[in-house]
Every structure is written in structure tokens, then in C-alpha cells.
């Protein structure tokens, strides 16, 4: 071997040793013991200073060049007052013909035979509401990434990326090199390390007999591996009200923005996961995890059987020695601005629910997974090539089902509490609208409501 090749091999060996030592000392070991050196927090503060300078430079440059900056409208396009169908119809009929729904004039008493029937002016209400829904669609925009008012040096963050100055473009290029040449390789290494350790250690623990020792080791291994995976995203998480953390034998429900919601919560406490069995790498991970911990995986044919799903979940909840179940009742990812309809299934099983609110800071990286646009691999690469993932987690006090309250009402009450704590919009719409059309029942509800108004007016006339 030539001296040059020997020197090259020695340098590569030294580089690998230094890289592995830094990885072990500053990331893996702190993850094992749940410690932090504050490096990520310092990194976040530096980024905020850079973003602030970049935003000011963009605004100043735009004024000099007379460019129009895009400003997202976060409060909706149309101002709406919370009025009922009956109130709006009254207003339209009053303005159009001077008569109310009961056929009377505001000044002259006495019924009018034609006023209790369908009025042509009623069409304007439904036309207006239809146009409002198209122009300011509060459902569809929940399935697209949230727009930022300021630029975070990511070209995918908003529409304000344009050449303003050489210094700003150079800063963006430097950030590109840092994210893809330094952070991405490090994060991929950490992700592979965390997943490998999870598969190996949970498989080994699976050979131990059931008991306290197995549960203890399983909990420590899961926490360690999830914390390594959290560092693979440079995730900076703030947990609030830890005294309300879910207890064994309970059900934890949270709003759903991203697949990493699981990692965010599981890095602070162990949960029993619920999901469909997969093949490939995900299948290997699932099979190894269930050996060490009683996770609940369903076959594709089983998950369609609601009674079987409810039975297995009920059996798990009744055993107070088992970990709390983690469920996302929305059933799909919503873009971190709102909470949509909770499926009632998990609220039929348990009388006590542990709500959790998760809110991401989109300035450092977009956590929302638009599954109709990005596959899992491309989504994770986008996450790992972002600056960081910053979020807050609130553990809310446990909520119990009240007397006379059905599962739907209970689910809506829990959802409202999560939305209120996380500063999210509380929507009644089903997240399934992301992939399917509006159910006929929604249309029928409006038709029934309108017909009740007409029938009710006619009955009032008859009694009078």
C-alpha cells in the first residue's frame, strides 16, 4: 500500500472515530438518561435572530424594488356572524318583502297565506352560503401546509422567496449547504441508530419471561430509542402539566398533525400503540415492538370489524397493569391550525379519557404530512432537511363521561378542550373529507332544517 493510501485510510479512521465519539457523547448518552446540554435551544435562538434579519431585509428590499409581498390571510376571507338558518331567512324576507316568516309585517299584524310557504327570496340564502363555502372553504384549506408571514430561508415555506439582494441569496445558499450537507447526514445516522437499537433490544427483551423486569427494561428501551429518533429531527419539545400524564389502563387521545406525533409523545412516556400491521421495514419494527410490549396491531381484515377492535381495546383498558393506549381520533393528519371531528369509537370504550394537545411552530419546519402529495419517505426527508421541529405539548386533566352524555357528545367536549388549549380552530367536519365527498347526511340535515322551519310556520298559522 502506498504512503498516500495509508495516510488516507488513517484520516478516514480518525474522522469516523471522532464522528462516532461526538454522536455517542452528545446525543446517544444524553438520550439514554433523558438529559440535554441546551445545544438545541441555543440553535433555535440563533435561527430566530437569522429569520428576523432575513424578514427585515426582504421587506426593505421589496420597498426599494416596489415588489408586492404575499401575506397569507389567516383569519378567513369572509366575515361571518354566528346566526341560525331561521334568523337569516327572516332577515332576507324582511328586506325583500317587508314580511317575516310568520307572514306578518314589522308594523302591521295579520297573517299572509303565501308567507308560510316557500319564498323565492329563500334561494338567495342558499346561493350566498354556497358561494361563501367555495370562496372561503374552511375544510379543504386544513389539508394544505400552513403559510408563514415571514420567510425562514426554506423555499417551500411561502411565496416570498425571490432575489432581493446578493447577501440574502448567499445566506439561503449557506443554509442549504448546512441543512443538506451537515444536518441531514447526522439526522439520518441518528434515525438509523434509533430504529436499529429499537428492533434489536425489543427482540432480545421479548425472550424474557413476563414480569416487572421485562416491563422495566421495555420501558427504558422504548424511551431511549424514541429520544434518539427525536434528536434525529432536532425536535425541541416543551411539555406542560406533566402531572396530568396518562395513567396505565387509560386511553390517551390527541390531535393529529404528523406521524411523528407518536415519537413526540412517546419520548416523554410509554404508550401502547394501535394500528394496522404492515410489511417491509415497518412490519419488522412492529413485530419486534410487540414482543417487548403489548401493542395492538390489527390485520387489514380485522380492522374492518368494529366489534373485534372494540373488544381488544376494552380488554387492554381493563388491565390496569398495561400501558395507556395512544389514539388519534381524527383518523387523518390536519395542518396544525384546527381540530376536526373525533371518531366516537374510543369514547365508547372508556369512561375516562386523557386529552393531549400538540401544537407545532411552523417557523422552523412544516410538520404537517400531506399524504395525498408526499409519500412517507419523501415526507421524512423533508422533515430531516428542515431547520428543526419545534412544538409544545399540553397534558390536560383527565375527562370523564358525564351522566346522560353519549359517545359523540363526550368526543366533542374532549375535542373542544384540546382545541382551546392548543389555540386551534374547533371544526365539526369529518377529516375523511380529505379523500371522500361530503356525505348525503350533511345535505339532508340542511334540507330537514329548512323543511322544519316551513312546517313549523304553517303549524303556527293553524293554531292562530
Among 362, 282, 272, 365, which residue's Cα sits nearest to residue 325?
272
Q: What's the CA gap between 28 and 191, in Å, rounded?
A: 11
Is residue 341 one of the residues assigned to a domain? yes
Among 278, 254, 262, 207, which residue's Cα sits nearest to residue 394?
254
Please list, in sequence order, all residues whose beta carbon lies within 8 angstroms of the beta carbon of residue 461, skipping any fewer than 6 positions away.
Answer: 102, 103, 111, 116
Q: What's the CA gap between 445 and 431, in Å, rounded?
A: 19
Count CB-CB contacts under 10 A for residue 378.
10
Q: Return the pLDDT at 436.
A: 64
DSSP per-residue codes, 232-277: TTTEEEEEE-GGGPPPTT-EEEE--S-TTHHHHHHTTS--EEEEE-
Q: Return the pLDDT at 78.
A: 46
Is residue 92 one of the residues assigned to a domain? no
Contact assessment for residue 395 and residue 354, using Cβ atoms and an 8 Å cutoff: yes
Is residue 196 one of the residues assigned to a domain? yes
In the structure grid, which three cell numbers stand for residue 386, read together?
428542515
Q: Return the pLDDT at 402.
A: 85
> Is residue 12 classed as helix, strand or coil in its secondary structure?
helix
Domain extent for 307: 166-435
Q: Return the pLDDT at 421.
A: 94
Is residue 57 one of the residues assigned to a domain? no
Q: What's the CA gap between 276 and 107, in Å, rounded?
A: 65
Is residue 89 one of the residues assigned to a domain? no
Among 330, 323, 324, 358, which residue's Cα sits nearest to residue 345?
330
Please list, in sequence order, all residues whose beta carbon lies within 8 angstroms of the beta carbon of residue 92, skipping any fewer than 6 positions away.
Answer: 121, 122, 124, 125
Q: How many domains does the chain have?
A: 1
Q: Return the pLDDT at 317.
A: 85
Q: Return the pLDDT at 144.
A: 72
Is residue 153 one of the residues assigned to a domain? no
Q: What's the CA gap between 373 and 350, in Å, rounded?
A: 35
Q: What's the CA gap between 367 and 380, in Å, rounded?
A: 10
Is residue 314 one of the residues assigned to a domain? yes
Please list, in sequence order, all residues whose beta carbon lies within 8 angstroms of the beta carbon of residue 458, skipping any fewer than 6 positions away.
Answer: 116, 117
Is residue 403 one of the residues assigned to a domain? yes
Q: What's the CA gap between 287 and 356, in Å, rounded?
A: 27
Q: Return the pLDDT at 72.
A: 54
- Find where cell 411552530 sits: 361
Question: pLDDT of the chain along its 464 residues, tens only?
Answer: 577 677 777 777 777 677 667 666 666 677 666 667 777 788 888 888 888 887 787 777 666 666 555 555 544 544 555 566 666 667 666 665 555 555 555 544 434 434 456 666 677 677 766 666 655 566 666 767 666 766 777 766 555 555 567 788 888 888 889 999 988 988 898 889 889 989 999 999 988 888 889 888 998 889 989 988 888 888 889 999 999 999 888 899 999 998 899 999 999 988 988 887 877 778 888 888 888 888 888 876 776 777 788 888 888 888 888 889 999 998 888 888 889 889 888 888 877 899 999 999 888 888 888 877 888 888 888 889 989 999 999 999 999 888 888 888 999 999 999 999 999 988 887 776 666 666 667 667 777 777 776 676 545 444 54
Amino acid at each position: 500500500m502506498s504512503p498516500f493510501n495509508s495516510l488516507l485510510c488513517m484520516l478516514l479512521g480518525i474522522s469516523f472515530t471522532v464522528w462516532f465519539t461526538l454522536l455517542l457523547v452528545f446525543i446517544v448518552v444524553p438520550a439514554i438518561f433523558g438529559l440535554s446540554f441546551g445545544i438545541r435551544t441555543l440553535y433555535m435562538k440563533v435561527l430566530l435572530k437569522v429569520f428576523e434579519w432575513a424578514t427585515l431585509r426582504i421587506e426593505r428590499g421589496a420597498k426599494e424594488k416596489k415588489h408586492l409581498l404575499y401575506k397569507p390571510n389567516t383569519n378567513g376571507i369572509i366575515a361571518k356572524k354566528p346566526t341560525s338558518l331561521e334568523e337569516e331567512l327572516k332577515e332576507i324576507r324582511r328586506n325583500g318583502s317587508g314580511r317575516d316568516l310568520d307572514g306578518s309585517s314589522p308594523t302591521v299584524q295579520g297573517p299572509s297565506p303565501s308567507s308560510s310557504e316557500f319564498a323565492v327570496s329563500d334561494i338567495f340564502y342558499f346561493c350566498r352560503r354556497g358561494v361563501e363555502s367555495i370562496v372561503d372553504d374552511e375544510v379543504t384549506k386544513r389539508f394544505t401546509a400552513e403559510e408563514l408571514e415571514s420567510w425562514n430561508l426554506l423555499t417551500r415555506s411561502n411565496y416570498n422567496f425571490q432575489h432581493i439582494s446578493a447577501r440574502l441569496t448567499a445566506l439561503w445558499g449557506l443554509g442549504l449547504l448546512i441543512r443538506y450537507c451537515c444536518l441531514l447526514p447526522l439526522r439520518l445516522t441518528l434515525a438509523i441508530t434509533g430504529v436499529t437499537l429499537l428492533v434489536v433490544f425489543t427482540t432480545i427483551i421479548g425472550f424474557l419471561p413476563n414480569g416487572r423486569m421485562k416491563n422495566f427494561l421495555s420501558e427504558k428501551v422504548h424511551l431511549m430509542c424514541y429520544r434518539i429518533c427525536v434528536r434525529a429531527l432536532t425536535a425541541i419539545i416543551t411539555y406542560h402539566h406533566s402531572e396530568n400524564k396518562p395513567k396505565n389502563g387509560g386511553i390517551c387521545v390527541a390531535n393529529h398533525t404528523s406521524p411523528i406525533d407518536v415519537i413526540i409523545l412517546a419520548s416523554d412516556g410509554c404508550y401502547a400503540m394501535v394500528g394496522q400491521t404492515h410489511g417491509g421495514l415497518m412490519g419488522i419494527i412492529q413485530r419486534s415492538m410487540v414482543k417487548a410490549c403489548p401493542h395492538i396491531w390489527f390485520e387489514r381484515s380485522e380492522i374492518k370489524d368494529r366489534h373485534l377492535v372494540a373488544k381488544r381495546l376494552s380488554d387492554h383498558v381493563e388491565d390496569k397493569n398495561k400501558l395507556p393506549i395512544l389514539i388519534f381520533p381524527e383518523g387523518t393528519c390536519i395542518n396544525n391550525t384546527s381540530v376536526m371531528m373525533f371518531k366516537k369509537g374510543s369514547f365508547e370504550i372508556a369512561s375516562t379519557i386523557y386529552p393531549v394537545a400538540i401544537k407545532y411552530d411552523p417557523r422552523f419546519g412544516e410538520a404537517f404530512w400531506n399524504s395525498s402529495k408526499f409519500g412517507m419517505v419523501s415526507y421524512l426527508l423533508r422533515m430531516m432537511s428542515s431547520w428543526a421541529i419545534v412544538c409544545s405539548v399540553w397534558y390536560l386533566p383527565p375527562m370523564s363521561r358525564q351522566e346522560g352524555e353519549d359517545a359523540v357528545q363526550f368526543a366533542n367536549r374532549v375535542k373542544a378542550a384540546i382545541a382551546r388549549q392548543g389555540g386551534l380552530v374547533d371544526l365539526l367536519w369529518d377529516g375523511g373529507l380529505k379523500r371522500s365527498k361530503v356525505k348525503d347526511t350533511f345535505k339532508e340535515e340542511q334540507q330537514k332544517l329548512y323543511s322544519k322551519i316551513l312546517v313549523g310556520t304553517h303549524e303556527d298559522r293553524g293554531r292562530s
